Homo-oligomer: A and B are copies of this chain.
Amino acid sequence: MQLDGRTHSLQAAYAARQAVFVDQPAYVRIANDLRARIVSGQLAAGTRLPSRQELAVEYDAAQGVISEATKLLTREGLLVSRPGAGMFVRQRPQRRSLVRSWFRERQAGSPFRQQMEEQGRRGSWEYASETLQAPAEVRERLGLGEPDGDRHDVMRTTYTFSSDDEGPWMLSTSWEPLELTKGTPIAWPEAGEHAGLGVTHRMAAIGITVDAWDEEVWARVASPEEAKHLGIGAGSIVMVVERSYFAGELAVETCDIVVPAETTKLVYNGPVGDS
């Protein structure tokens, strides 16, 4: 194995070590066993697992090892634990579909109809808006130039979306250039006649035609704040969507959307061979 640059040597060595570990640590084996019992239905959704102590006896392992194993399954979304009560097999993580694009309707039995209906049933949402000077990353996404002293140049609005039956399920932070909206009726996204109508409608009200969108999707571990807001465990996975709206070449809004990966999937579709 060649070790040239520092970065490469680190990652290569790490990968190599992984491959060498033929037999797995105890907490992984135990997690595998429990996972098999869960997905096979032997441990049905809602049932309570034996306590840490009992599992430690059953698997002949220390309680810390059991704890490590169940933490793994919790991050995978298979378990939910409540201090004082116990650990429970989670309901099949039925994922909420977040339809991001569609160009035509598909067969009636397909998810699309249901999803649109589901998205149609509105939940509640909270927001907070303020003006400030955009940070570097947002400047780039919006195509803003260098900052002018301390002058505020964007409107930032943070949202928390909640469904009626369950809790919060989506966070988002939207950025709009004040250069476009300052002094217009839509400067504050959630005030006035066009409140809550979406970027496309609002921009249309001041003569800007939004005609394109970009989305960049990735996933990462939730920050402690995000985990708290979304009601998910620390170390859980979230998906991040960086969305931008354009009018021609002009970026008119950019937005970070954060959803729990356990319970959400993003749905895109489109034509083949478009232009």
Set B82, B91, B221: member contacting A7, Cβ < 8 A: B91
Binding site for B on A (CB under 8 A): 6-7, 10-11, 13-15, 17-19, 24, 28, 32, 45-46, 72, 75-77, 80-83, 85, 88, 90-91, 95, 97, 100-101, 103-104, 106-107, 143, 167, 200, 210-221, 224, 227-228, 231-235, 237, 239, 245-246, 249, 261, 264-275
Q: Which residues of B contact A82 (CB under 8 A)?
A: 10, 13-14, 17
| Cα(A166)–Cα(B107), bound, Å | 41
| Cα(A72)–Cα(B245), bound, Å | 34
Copies in the complex: 2
| Cα(A210)–Cα(B11), bound, Å | 40
Q: Mostly helix, strand, loop or mixed at chain A's interface?
A: mixed
Q: Which residues of B contact A217 (CB under 8 A)?
A: 217, 239, 265-268
When C-beta atoms are compared, the residue in chain B nearest to A77 turns out to be: B220
Whether the Cβ atoms of A80 and B14 lie closer than 8 Å is yes
